[in-house]
Chain A
């Protein structure tokens, strides 16, 4: 007990000592004291009330609850809910919901690459940027309408996905992450400096809004339904491919590439496919973003954006569609709710990522398979996984 207390004391003093040049002595002492207090509180509480598996129990309850309701009814319920939802919201909230929708499309696209095929893509935002800029240029310079641009842009983004995929095929893990990161940054630098086409840092203004018949999309509520349709389409398409032969091939590659190849999976083709299939959704997200904002500039497509999208995928649960949607909602809506703490929310995001990886790498809704994969140390979880497979 006393030993533990001394450890806590030393730990908090250590944190105070290393932060004082930045925060000043007074704040460092405050920090020390608050770390000490929270550690003592945690130590006493963790014995009694809060169990370490607290989050796991909650997420398991959500899972068992949601598995009891038939999927179709649940899906129809949500679609109905989202159809009538804007009637109860003002324009500001509809706008945020629209943004959430675009991010859901992006996150689901990234989920195909990272969650299913297991290829860490840190330059995902490049495809988002290519989509948005392609539509912006087609619309302002060639007078293409939204609907005419859509197939062209998607084709373009799909091809650029394959183009990035080819060189990246030879690389694995971290190296792949770095190459895709470089690709993303170079895309942004080109957008920033190629003044004659992209208008440089000023961005492209006056992008044409989408039209259906005689209705020109101007109000947030118009975009709401447009984005909703695309979100449903994306979810449906990704759900279908998830359960198809291709989806299973991706998971096989993620789990063991050599074994997958031995089973007759064409790993080269499948990896390229996952890159370009993921990219397509980013491109779609980009087109929607450009159409909604009616303005694009390189600032919207920084590395940080890639990281945020990755966080959405990880927070909810890699590979799980419901998880990704949940993660996106949390990461878009929570910062809106915490507007007053503008700066601290980024601090919290960083800390949250670390804690998530240490304590719950499989995400809020990650299944047992993912848990077993991400926590090789944890015998108990591994045994559980084997039990569930036996059943």
Chain B
């Protein structure tokens, strides 16, 4: 039972971590809470169902299921990156110098718009993932880990390692770090700020899309309002780890996933969502810089 919950918690945590990365990267660079990020994750989950459904209908999944899943994941990430970039250009870029209230409100607007767009185009009822994944798995220590869970864990770890390498080793990654430290100075040194911000949104949205596709496969169904709660939880994870800090977001996601899985099975499953909110409030009040974040003057 305990190990089972640990495995479930890690799977959930990996997904939260992927979404949290998007929040933390955007916050690091723009000091903006991208409220619409949860909706990008929701769009990703829907795209997963749509694309895999299409691949099944042309008979591709029968040839090679793993390949079909990878194609779905990649296509969904590409589309969501486009959404992320478009959202930034429409709703945030014109407000870059406005008081903080304005982009927050336009982000809420984006969120409402996207939810209703999906509801109108895809229907208000739950959408079911094509039942092509069997719940096979391995058993050890009295706990079962399905191949899907293994896939989710490996894929998330790969993506996080890839992101870490991108940020630490490449020129663009260096530009991103410089912009996060001091936007004005970075632009004086010849860094194209607009480009860096676009790339941040593209990467963040891509990771959220991957999380969405994997959650859709894991739970088997999606609806148009999953983005809100997932967004809040991922934001909690980002804050827990220290907003602006990339390793922090990963750590925060894992901790939150474990806490939720254990809390739901040992304390109360009705208040499952309340754990995240409660945790969020407590961290923000007691330790707003999070576990791995830096103390920055004006944030708290």
Please give the residue numbers on chain A whose beta carbons come within 8 Å of chain B beta carbons, in ascending order. Answer: 14-15, 17-19, 21-24, 27, 114, 118, 120, 167, 170-175, 177-179, 181-183, 185-186, 189-190, 193, 303, 307, 310, 314, 343-344, 346-347, 349-354, 356-358, 361, 373-377
Is B67 an interface residue when CB atoms closer than 8 A count as contact? Answer: no
- What are 17 of the A-B contact pairs (CB < 8 Å)? A14-B86, A15-B86, A21-B51, A21-B79, A22-B46, A22-B121, A172-B299, A174-B100, A175-B288, A186-B281, A193-B271, A343-B116, A353-B105, A353-B109, A361-B98, A373-B99, A377-B97
Q: How far is the CA of A314 from the CA of B33 in the complex (A)?
A: 19
Pairwise interchain contact A358-B94, C-beta atoms closer than 8 A: yes
* Residue-wise interface mask of B (178-194) relative to A, using a CB-CB cutoff of 8 A (1 in contact, 0 not): 00000000000000000
Q: How many residues of B contact A (CB 8 A)?
A: 58
Which of A118, A173, A193, A375 gathers the greatest number of chain B CB atoms within 10 Å? A173
- Knowing that A173-B101, A377-B98 are A-B contacts, what are 11 other residue pairs whose CB atoms are under 8 Å apart, sorted by A's residue number? A14-B86, A18-B82, A18-B86, A22-B50, A172-B298, A173-B100, A175-B288, A179-B285, A185-B274, A357-B95, A376-B98
Q: Smallest CB–CB gap between A169 and chain B, Å?
A: 9
Is B108 an interface residue when CB atoms closer than 8 A count as contact? Answer: yes
Is B267 an interface residue when CB atoms closer than 8 A count as contact? Answer: no
Partner of A185, one of B47, B86, B110, B277: B277
Q: How far is the CA of A303 from the CA of B113 in the complex (A)?
A: 15
Partner of A357, one of B82, B105, B112, B284: B105
Pairwise interchain contact B105-A185, C-beta atoms closer than 8 A: no
List the 6 closest A-B pairs by CB distance, nearest first. A353-B109, A350-B113, A350-B112, A357-B106, A182-B277, A354-B109
Pairwise interchain contact A353-B108, C-beta atoms closer than 8 A: yes
Partner of A375, one of B98, B111, B274, B280: B98
B residues less than 8 Å from A374 (CB atoms): 98-99, 102
Quick one: closest B residue to A186, CB to CB?
B277
Known A18-B86, A354-B106; judge A171-B50 contact (CB<8 A): no
Q: How far is the CA of A21 from the CA of B51 in the complex (A)?
A: 8
B residues less than 8 Å from A173 (CB atoms): 100-101
Quick one: closest A residue to B105, CB to CB?
A357
Q: Smallest CB–CB gap between A304 and chain B, Å?
A: 8
Pairwise interchain contact A167-B270, C-beta atoms closer than 8 A: no
Quick one: closest A residue to B87, CB to CB?
A354
Pairwise interchain contact B274-A189, C-beta atoms closer than 8 A: yes
Q: How far is the CA of A226 from the CA of B97 in the complex (A)?
A: 45
Pairwise interchain contact A179-B99, C-beta atoms closer than 8 A: no
Pairwise interchain contact A171-B300, C-beta atoms closer than 8 A: yes
Q: Smallest CB–CB gap between B113 and chain A, Å?
A: 3
Known A22-B46, A175-B300; judge A193-B270 contact (CB<8 A): yes
Partner of B284, one of A21, A175, A349: A175
Quick one: closest A residue to B54, CB to CB?
A21
* Residue-wise interface mask of B (139-151) relative to A, using a CB-CB cutoff of 8 A (1 in contact, 0 not): 0000000000000
Q: How far is the CA of A343 from the CA of B116 in the complex (A)?
A: 7
Q: Smallest CB–CB gap between A174 and chain B, Å?
A: 5
Pairwise interchain contact B108-A307, C-beta atoms closer than 8 A: yes
Pairwise interchain contact B91-A171, C-beta atoms closer than 8 A: no
Pairwise interchain contact A344-B120, C-beta atoms closer than 8 A: yes
Is B126 an interface residue when CB atoms closer than 8 A count as contact? Answer: no
B residues less than 8 Å from A361 (CB atoms): 95, 98, 102
Q: Smallest CB–CB gap between B125 and chain A, Å?
A: 14
Pairwise interchain contact B284-A171, C-beta atoms closer than 8 A: yes
Partner of B104, one of A177, A344, A377: A177
Q: How far is the CA of A314 from the CA of B103 in the complex (A)?
A: 13
Is B2 an interface residue when CB atoms closer than 8 A count as contact? Answer: no
Is B152 an interface residue when CB atoms closer than 8 A count as contact? Answer: no
Pairwise interchain contact B114-A350, C-beta atoms closer than 8 A: yes
Q: Smallest CB–CB gap between A129 and chain B, Å?
A: 15
Pairwise interchain contact A314-B105, C-beta atoms closer than 8 A: yes
Pairwise interchain contact B106-A353, C-beta atoms closer than 8 A: yes
Quick one: closest A residue to B113, CB to CB?
A350
Q: How far is the CA of A63 from the CA of B10 in the complex (A)?
A: 58
Partner of A354, one of B83, B110, B299: B110
Q: How far is the CA of A174 from the CA of B156 in the complex (A)?
A: 28
Q: Smallest CB–CB gap between B74 and chain A, Å?
A: 14
Pairwise interchain contact A346-B112, C-beta atoms closer than 8 A: yes
Q: How far is the CA of A15 from the CA of B239 in the complex (A)?
A: 33
Q: How far is the CA of A15 from the CA of B285 in the complex (A)?
A: 42
250-300 of chain B: CB within 8 A of chain A: 270-271, 273-274, 277-278, 280-281, 284-285, 288, 298-300
Quick one: closest B residue to A21, CB to CB?
B50
* Residue-wise interface mask of B (70-100) relative to A, using a CB-CB cutoff of 8 A (1 in contact, 0 not): 0000000001001100100011001101111
Q: How far is the CA of A167 from the CA of B286 in the complex (A)?
A: 9
Is B195 an interface residue when CB atoms closer than 8 A count as contact? Answer: no
B residues less than 8 Å from A354 (CB atoms): 90-91, 106, 109-110, 113
B residues less than 8 Å from A357 (CB atoms): 91, 95, 98, 102-103, 105-106, 109
Pairwise interchain contact B110-A186, C-beta atoms closer than 8 A: no
